[in-house]
Amino acid sequence: MEATTGLVAGSHSRNELIVIQGHLGRKPFKDLSGQMCDICGDHVGETTDGDLFVACNECGFPVCRPCYEYERREGSQLCPHCKTRYKRLKGSPRVEGDEDEENVDDIDHEFNNVDNNKQPISGEPPMMSSSLLKRVHFYTVPEPGRDEKEEGGWAKRMDEWKLQQSNLGPETYHSANPEAAKVDAVRQPLSRKLPIASSKINPYRIMVVARLFVLAIFLWYRILNPVHGSIGLWLTSVICEIWFSFSWILDQLPKWTPIDRETYLDRLSLRYEREGEPNMLPHVDIFVNTVDPMKEPVLVTANTALSILAMDYPVDKLSCYVSDDGASIITFQAMTETAKFAKSWVPFCKKFLIEPRAPEMYFSLKIDYLKDKVQPSFVQERRTMKREYEEFKVRINGLVAKAVKVPPEGWIMQDGTPWPGNNPRDHPGMIQVFLGHSGGVDTEGNVLPRLIYVSREKRPGFQHKNKAGSMNALIRVSGVLTNAPFILNLDCDHYVNNSKAIREAMCFLMDPQVGKRVCYVQFPQRFDGIDKHDRYANRNTVFYDINMKGLDGIQGPIYVGTGCVFRRRALYGYEPPKSSKCPKMVTCDCCPCFGRRKKLLQNSNKSANEDGGIAQGLDIDKEPLMSQMNFEKRFGPSSVFVSSALMIDGGVAPSSSPAALLEEAINVIKCGYEDKTEWGYEVGWIYGSITEDILTGFKLHCRGWRSIYCMPKRPAFKGLAPINLSDRLNQVFCCSLGSIEIFFSHHSPVRYGVRRGKLKWLERFAYINTIVYPFISIPLLAYCLLPAICLFTDTFILPEISSLASIFFIALFITVVATCILELRWSGVSIEEWWRNEQFWVISGISAHLLAVVRAPLKIFARTDTNIMIIISKATNGEDFGGLYTFKWTTLLIPPTTILIINLVGVVVGISNAISNGYQLWGPLLGKLIFAFWVIVHLYPFLKGLMGRQHRTPTIVVIWSVLLASVFVLLWVRIDPFSVRTKGPDVNQCGLNC
């Protein structure tokens, strides 16, 4: 089409084209040639008139025409920047909702100067690409001489137009041109956000507000109506109830905007794995951390490594690093056997699409393994592989049995060299590449992913920082050897249950619009080897399926220590790239507080500080030039690692030799490498608490990064949970102790990063809740003792309830029940899982949390050794819940047992008192008994676990609990502190002159 043709416009009310001659030309537009689409990354493109394609006339957000058409046809029809509904542009097919736009069409008015010659629509090229052809609707011009007043003519033409619209659907075109369908899929987003249905979330929000209102009235009533006969009991109960209300509010606020997410793995493959082109998926380094091969069985670690090596991901882009922080020769030899077995296990998994790809879990599945298998050779190869795995297990078991007794001269390697890690507290750094560049091929000749054994150097007098220090050593080693832009970290007992887990994460991290601001993708923790009823709430579904979904709707979930894919640059302390935001509206000068004066003042302050903070104002993707001294202060003295840290897309310099890289990798894991650097403070995993996961995620969010919560239908990773009560309480104790350490540290969410303003307030409330929840143990302990005290003293924490007050109590009960039911409705959590979580909240609150509150100040301020056993032994699948009733002596068992005995004795005392003093006391007794049974029912799993399968309880636990309960009861009867006492004679009986 020639440029002098004129402006061609279509009409919605009349099926014809209008050519406007003598048009003034296109509207001047900024020079935005070469602008990229912020959704798919392609060029926005121009029309034939030379105009830049503009999808949204409100904000001019750069979007190409295919993405614009897809959003109108299958999306929300809203501009992703300003949320304004897309209007129909020239040549675009009509979609649902266009009829609601009155007087909105290709032009605002219709004209009488109609050219009878057929003309294509202005702004579209005559020869369009296949990706655009299916989206553009060409209007047909009425034939010359056609009678406009023919009866039924308009209706007939309207039916033809509707038929033409239906024939332009995507299914018809895609079936005729499958290549165009692939091109269209490449442009589509890799993931999308799925808000909770309004029919489920809105009633829940209404009920939360109602509960908050009723709770305020209830507390107001409790404060204004004291129990004069027992002021101490009343005051204690009111303080506890206020603290419970505050804790509930902190827990409830982050749940206000929960969301789900959906990924499209086929689109990821179409975009980054095109046929005939190099694979564009990024490299990934996977970290597995282990310490003690006896408490963390090496067979479990080997299964985790095998499941990683067999993942559905390009083998040349995958590297597995196993960190042995105990420098055990058993772990080293187990990895040697693992590398040998992987050469036959990996091709078997990929040939028959095995899930899961951890051999122990796969061969122990009680399912029909022949389902969906059509290859005749599968049965024979499976039998062969199972026999090889059993031989592999026997070799691993032999290594473990051999390690029970350490030789006096220490361990000797096969070549006669003494094992460098004979002293686990004083040994050099060790690195062994088992699979990779040389010799890393399977039985079919295909290359295998890298498997690298790492044990960092340890010397007396150095602080090694436990798991956080080990992870930072892995970051430096991987940065020197492979330097992948993304990192997946797993615990040694968390195997890969979904072979496409990394692809799920890449759907978010490789998203061209929001992926650059995502620091990590967190997967929920799922566990094997848990009893059917989950007696000790090991699954923790309330946290993973409710709280984490709510955080995903704010700034992202917190980091839970495993099952997380990181962006390496985020761990290096960089801030996220700045996103282009719409400029705020400038107000007038009429108000001195909010007008132009304030804006000018801010601009002047900004210009005054511009020279001093120029480094912060530059684009983070193009890091400012820094001196070598600054780099060494941040990353350490290794020039090779500093060079790798400055590579945005990762990778290793091709000129580097493997021998030189290994020598430099040994250098970066030395004990003194982190001295006078920012490792552990601004770079890598953050030091300062045994719960380094919370600190690390908190620092990333404070820098402005956001995280993503990914819940695929098939769980990505599965692990082993502590199955018996003692180990479960020890695990909770360690987490509680770490939370209290963060509360008293410099990085406390209560005050850290408040001025920077990059952490959203609801996200901050969630982090505050993660560090203050152990303190609820004190009011919870007092509240669990109140029922027994009331039964002993024949008093109660509530006064006589009037008719009006009873309405408050009934309303509070209804709102509490309704809130829980509606929460379970939108989250999908079962009522049994919720109830187990409530029971273990009380059990852990009066045991693990309480002991953490006592010991944490001693560790922080008095610098005393708390003798914490962080490594928890966990049951394997083969035990069939045999360890469920296994008890180990721990002081954590004493407080719950004591409270249980006191409440049981109180129930007996209260009933005996009512029987001996008359039936008029049964009415007041009923409320006290309900209160006591509330405590006993919550402690029922603890009581059942304490008795055990053999109905036998550790003698020391019984002795200490009975002793403490007896002392408490006798002391209470002797003192009776809450009874009202009078001194002197009773003037009502004796009179004033007695």
pLDDT tens-place string over residues 889-930: 678 888 888 888 888 888 888 877 777 776 566 667 787 888
DSSP element (H, E) containing 853: helix 848-860
The mean pLDDT value for 723-747 works out to 87
What does the pLDDT read at residue 364? 87
**Is the pLDDT score of 18 beyond 80?**
no
**Is the pLDDT score of 188 beyond 90?**
no
Tell the residue number behind the tokens 């708390």, with chain if given: 866
**Is the pLDDT score of 430 beyond 70?**
yes
pLDDT tens-place string over residues 394-420: 999 988 888 778 888 888 888 778 888
Full-model pTM: 0.75
CA distances from 356 to 224, 311, 715, 717 (A): 60, 10, 10, 9
**Is the pLDDT score of 142 beyond 80?**
no
Least confident of 224-233, 302-311, 618-627: 618-627
Residue 766 is encoded by which pair of tokens?
Answer: 């969630």
What does the pLDDT read at residue 623? 45
Query: 655 or 244, which is more confident?
Result: 244
pLDDT tens-place string over residues 841-897: 999 999 889 999 988 888 877 666 554 444 455 555 544 555 555 556 678 888 888
DSSP single-letter state for residue 544: I
What does the pLDDT read at residue 30? 39
What is the spatial distance between Cα 872 and Cα 870, in angstroms, rounded to a whole number? 6
What is the spatial distance between Cα 145 and Cα 856, in angstroms, rounded to a whole number? 93
Beta bridge partners of 290: 324
What does the pLDDT read at residue 614? 31
Q: What residues have CB less than 8 Å from 889, skipping those under 6 apart?
A: 726, 954, 956, 957
The mean pLDDT value for 558-587 works out to 79
Residue 159 is encoded by which pair of tokens?
Answer: 């039916």
Q: How far apart are the first and last CA of the chain?
A: 122
**Is the pLDDT score of 186 beyond 80?**
no
pLDDT tens-place string over residues 118-136: 444 333 334 444 333 333 3
The mean pLDDT value for 573-602 works out to 54
Q: What angle, rounded to 10 degrees, do the helices at 848-860 and 725-743 form?
A: 40
pLDDT tens-place string over residues 606-647: 433 433 333 343 344 444 444 556 778 888 888 888 888 888
**Is the pLDDT score of 710 beyond 70?**
yes
Helix ranges (H only) for 11-140 are 65-74, 130-133
pLDDT tens-place string over residues 238-276: 999 999 999 999 999 889 999 999 999 988 998 898 888
The mean pLDDT value for 92-99 works out to 74
What does the pLDDT read at residue 71? 80
The mean pLDDT value for 429-450 works out to 80
Pick left, alpha or beta for residue 612 (phi over 0 → left; psi -120 to 50 → alpha; otherwise beta).
Answer: alpha
**Is the pLDDT score of 147 beyond 80?**
no
User: Judging by beta carbons within 10 Å of its beta carbon (0-12, 13-18, 19+), is residue 260 exposed, middle or buried?
Assistant: middle
pLDDT tens-place string over residues 829-843: 999 999 999 989 999
Band the pLDDT of 975: cuts 50, 70, 90: low
Q: What residues have CB less than 8 Å from 369, skipping those under 6 apart?
A: 382
What is the spatial distance between Cα 253 and Cα 208, in angstroms, rounded to a whole number? 10
What does the pLDDT read at residue 921? 62
Least confident of 436-440, 653-657, 802-806: 436-440
Q: Are 901 and 965 in contact (CB under 8 A)?
A: yes
Kindly state the percentage of the chain with pLDDT values over 90.
29
What does the pLDDT read at residue 531? 77
Which amino acid type is present at position 659?
A: A
Least confident of 337-351, 905-919, 924-938: 905-919
Q: Is 354 helix (H, G, I), strand (E, B) or coil?
A: coil
Looking at every residue in the chain, the average pLDDT score rounds to 77
What does the pLDDT read at residue 887? 57
What does the pLDDT read at residue 628? 56
What is the spatial distance between Cα 142 and Cα 731, in angstroms, rounded to a whole number? 78
Catalytic site residues?
A: 325, 693
Query: 353 or 909, which is more confident?
Result: 353
CA distances from 432 to 323, 429, 706, 933 (A): 11, 10, 36, 59
pLDDT tens-place string over residues 447-480: 889 999 999 988 888 888 888 999 999 999 999 9
Q: Are 379 and 385 in contact (CB under 8 A)?
A: no
Query: 7 or 190, which is more confident?
Result: 190
What does the pLDDT read at residue 40? 72
What does the pLDDT read at residue 243? 93
Q: What residues have CB less than 8 Å from 582, skipping those under 6 apart?
A: 59, 81, 82
Query: 26 or 227, which is more confident?
Result: 227
What does the pLDDT read at residue 969? 62
Kindly state the percentage of the chain with pLDDT values over 70.
73
Q: Which of 563-567, 741-745, 753-757, 805-809 has the highest mean pLDDT?
A: 563-567
What is the spatial distance between Cα 413 and Cα 625, in angstroms, rounded to a whole number? 48
Band the pLDDT of 568: cuts 50, 70, 90: very high
